[in-house]
Amino acid sequence: MALQTEMPFTLPLGYVDADGTLHRDGVMRRATALDEIDPLRDPRVVQNDAYLSVIVLSRVVTKLGTLHQLTPQVIEGLYASDLAYLQDVYNRVNVLDRERYDATCPACQHVFQVEVDGLGGSVATPSTPSTRR
């Protein structure tokens, strides 16, 4: 089985550029270690941890409509629902298989499955708030 390194997506609302063109269809590639580490040095991230997702997404989204160079300013211009959608796509593209375990509720004894990430996540994962100080 080949490793999927890119994933196409369609934004729920889309990005409208300065000319009024709507861009909804895009491609995101799998992140490298550098994609998650390098933005930690960016002054905008140092001042505001929440900006990390903007920088990371601008590095891994390789196409959006006719745009082939996505800057942090383009990601900033997305609607909040589109940003949340991209964060979800990022997590799907960058997570390998999760381990699943059966768990039992101690109160009612209902058995259900829980998913566990292998490494516990990264501080640079866009939908995970950073814990560094």
To the nearest 10 degrees (0 to 180), the angle between helices 52-60 and 80-94 is 60
Q: What is the model's pLDDT at position 124?
A: 46
Q: How many CB atoms lie within 10 A of CB 31?
A: 19
Distance CA 48, CA 128 (A): 14
Residue 131, in any domain of the structure: no
Residue 122, in any domain of the structure: no
Q: For 93-105, write each residue's pLDDT tens digit.
A: 887 656 666 788 8
Which of 58, 61, 103 has its CA nearest to residue 76? 58
Residue 30, in any domain of the structure: yes
Residue 128, in any domain of the structure: no
Q: What is the model's pLDDT at position 109?
A: 86
Residue 57, in any domain of the structure: yes
Residue 84 domain boundaries: 6-116
Residue 123, in any domain of the structure: no
State the total domains in the chain.
Answer: 1
Q: What is the model's pLDDT at position 121?
A: 44
Residue 88, in any domain of the structure: yes
Q: For 27-70, write each residue's pLDDT tens digit.
A: 999 999 999 999 999 999 999 998 999 999 999 999 999 998 89
